[in-house]
Structure 1
């Protein structure tokens, strides 16, 4: 195979890969969490695609170039080549590590109890998510995890758009998993423990919620809905819940944060 043909093969492979990843590049995001995750995926693709094209191009060229050689000779030592690919690998791994750390260190991707110290200044919306066989209960705690919930709902989680939200995930019986793929949110729900998710939803709308951990015979029916509404509509709904004296005044039966 001539160099020209090898170049054409490489370009053809690159075009196919570009078409394959185009939907990912055009992915629209609905939350701060999803934006960070998709941004990391795209950065990793910038590294993965050239490496894939290079390796596959060399492989195709080698198979074609030496297809009739019945008595191949051993590869000669080339220290310059070995040093080059060792340094290139180190640079690639450093890039991947730094890019991943920047995303994983964000509280919108990895929230923890340490973020509690910042809550009083940032004033996010606090919601306790309680999983049980086979459904979801949501306690809107307003400015504190302790005390009575301002509103309590089952099945549908209502959230404000363009507002920082902290979700505290727990379970009352056994292992479940809170998963809203449309917002990039996922966390295990352990009995007596609390995992945190933090996000900020950009676009009002309705998103599917389901349990992502097999939890028994009713697992497939453990579904819910996340309804994101404008801030003024959310404030009005919360006020109506508080004044109704119904579920909005229900006692939050979860314990205080660890």
Structure 2
């Protein structure tokens, strides 16, 4: 087989593999608007980056093959039109990347401070206690990270869970996050949720989960020797199941710190 045929086969194989990858990844349904936004941005950038990468690789292969035995190489002559063209093309690509990323970053699910249901003046500074937290139309869960577990409490009840966070499906949910010791970060990969939790402060994460089920959550900020064991389940159930679960496990000990030992639904 001649070298030219081998090169053509290699290029075709790379293109086919890339097309197969795009076809497979595009069939995975996002479970939340957060994940949908992030996946959409990744696909947009991939659709731009992949052709450019193949184009550059083909030029490199062409140059390596054509000039590999050139005994008298000459510098490239000046070509203002070409330089203007690739500078303008680079500027257009960067503008596209910036606008695509901006449209995702300002979304109220990715940046909850942009949500119009609370008045936070565009930031979350100064939220140092539950009393400071603004009212929201979302279902609210307070989540506290500490070495090395997650503890969730549910407003208006005496229910507290450890390493399991229960939320209703199909509704906007706000997680108010804080930490009892060092910096932690609640990361739910399948839902595209990631937010740091700071000692003495409250930060907000926001999502809507379409499908009931269990989703893995981990700490994404190194927080000590037990960091790798700091995981939890986000349990998403129908609204009726959620309300019934809260009612069944709402202890009346009056101190707001009743860690439920009843099975979590789902």
TM-score range, shorter chain: 0.7 to 0.9
Q: Which residue of structure 2 lines up, in the alignment, with residue 74 of structure 1?
A: 75
Whole-Å separation in 2 of the counterparts to 1:8 and 1:154:
55
User: Aligned with 2:186: secondary structure?
Assistant: strand
Q: Does 1:220 align with 2:228?
A: yes
Does the Cα contact within 8 Å between 1:165 and 1:200 map onto a contact in 2? yes
- What is the RMSD of the two structures over their aligned residues, measured on CA atoms? 2.8
Residue 179 of structure 1: SS of its match in structure 2?
Answer: strand
Structure 2: how far apart are the matches of 1:246 and 1:208?
Answer: 31
Q: Identify the match of residue 190 of structure 1 among 187, 198, 206.
A: 198
Moved more, 178-187 or 155-164: 178-187
Instruction: Provide, for residues 188-237 of structure 1, a one-character-per-residue CA deviation record: whole Å limited to 9, x for no partner.
Output: 11101122111000111001122222222222222211100011111221
Q: Distance in 1 between matches of 2:228 and 2:114?
A: 31
Q: Deviations over 1:69-125 (max 9, x none)?
A: 1211110111111111111111111111111000010011111286523986x7211
Could you tell me how far apart the structure 2 residues matched to 1:91 and 1:25 are?
Answer: 26
Q: Secondary structure at the match of 2:112?
A: coil
Deviations for 1:124-170, whole angstroms, at most 9, x for unmatched residues?
111111011221111222xxxxxx55632222100101000111111
* Equivalence for 2:123: none
Which residue does the alignment assign to 2:45? Answer: 44
Give the alignment's TM-score, normalised by structure 2: 0.81
Secondary structure of residue in 1 paired with 2:194 = strand
Structure-1 residue corresponding to 2:126 = none
Pairs aligned (count): 243
Q: Is the 8 A contact 1:9 1:57 kept in 2?
A: no
How much has 1:64 moved relative to structure 2? 0.7
Q: What are the within-5 Å matches in structure 2 for residues 169-188 of structure 1?
A: 169-188=177-196
Conserved? CA contact 2:159–2:257, under 8 Å: no
CA distance, structure 2, for counterparts of residue 195 and residue 245 of structure 1: 29
Tell me, yes or no, if structure 1 residue 138 matches structure 2 residue 152.
yes
Corresponding residue for residue 252 of structure 2: 245
* Contact 2:105 2:111 (8 Å CA) reproduced: yes
Counterparts of 1:80 and 1:210, CA distance in 2: 52
Q: Which residue of 2 aligns with 1:168?
A: 176
CA distance in 2, matches of 1:16, 1:219: 37
